[in-house]
Amino acid sequence: KNQVEQSPQSLIILEGKNCTLQCNYTVSPFSNLRWYKQDTGRGPVSLTIMTFSENTKSNGRYTATLDADTKQSSLHITASQLSDSASYICVVSEGTYKYIFGTGTRLKVLA
Amino acid sequence: DAGVIQSPRHEVTEMGQEVTLRCKPISGHNSLFWYRQTMMRGLELLIYFNNNVPIDDSGMPEDRFSAKMPNASFSTLKIQPSEPRDSAVYFCASSLVEVQPQHFGDGTRLSIL
């Protein structure tokens, strides 16, 4: 069964600290993996997208990594800011329009 | 550059009533998706349109749900009759082609009493 699992479910960190969110997937076939940021009351916004051959992709303070062999991805946030408080969703594509969504990690950044 | 526009943002109605959710995709995008988001199940694909044609509606829960895309700039998701278990946030998303990043609207928060 195609699944995307994220950990932790929730995380609280202090402003300025770094953090890493995890995503494990069992999706086959695999086309690409995306990370989305979803602010409360808003729709998800794409942060990064990686294909099978890409190991890392950065978007400002966000860096995503992908290990296609172990079927794991991580999203690293550097020097966190209050505005980083949101849910982060890992999404894996089978290669067509079908996307498998994780249930997300809720991040809270405290001043 | 207008994003995906959904209306209404919030809808509260009684069980048994008809509910219509609306979506205007980004101009030029030919792929449109309707999703439902709940705490328990996260985001689930309900239906996918390509060039205004429904390609996959296997995620539509049951016959009470229907979706249309009469033209490239408008889509509706209808629930009739509505039930309390339909309460969720419904998102519309569009993309230039189906494998490009999806642009989501801000959703419709639906509460069925």
Sequential pLDDT tens for chain A (111 residues): 889 999 999 999 999 999 999 999 998 888 899 999 999 999 999 999 998 889 999 999 999 999 999 999 999 999 999 999 999 999 998 877 888 999 999 999 999
Q: Is the peptide bond before B84 cis (omega within 30 degrees of 0)?
A: no
Other CB atoms within a 10 A radius of the CB of residue B12 amount to: 11
Closest Cα in chain A to B38: A103
Binary contact (B91, A96; C-beta < 8 A): no
pLDDT the model gives residue B98: 63
Ramachandran bin of A108, using left for φ above 0, alpha for ψ from -120 to 50, beta for the remaining angles: beta
| B37 pLDDT above the threshold of 70 | yes
Question: Could you tell me which residues are beta bridge partners of residue B76?
Answer: B22, B68
| B100 pLDDT above the threshold of 90 | no
Q: Are the beta carbons of A72 and A22 closer than 8 angstroms?
A: yes
List, edge to edge, every strand of the sheet that includes B5-7. B5-7, B19-24, B74-79, B65-71
Say which residues have a Cβ less than 8 Å from residue B94's Cβ, sequence separation at least 6.
B4, B25, B26, B29, B31, B32, B33, B102, B103
Q: How far is CA B11 from CA A48, A85, B34, B38, B108, in A?
A: 32, 26, 17, 16, 7
Within 16-35 of A, beta carbons closer than 8 Å to B belong to 31-32, 34
Q: Could you tell me whether strands B108-112 and B10-13 are parallel, antiparallel, or unpaired per DSSP bridges?
A: parallel
Query: What pLDDT band is residue B1 in, cutting at 50, 70 and 90?
Result: low
| Dist CA B101 CA A40 (whole Å) | 20
* A3, two tokens: 């699944």
| B48 pLDDT above the threshold of 90 | yes
Closest Cα in chain B to A31: B99
The C-alpha of B90 sits at a distance from chain A's nearest C-alpha, in angstroms, of: 10
Interface test with B, best of A33, A91, A93, A99 (most B CBs within 10 A): A99
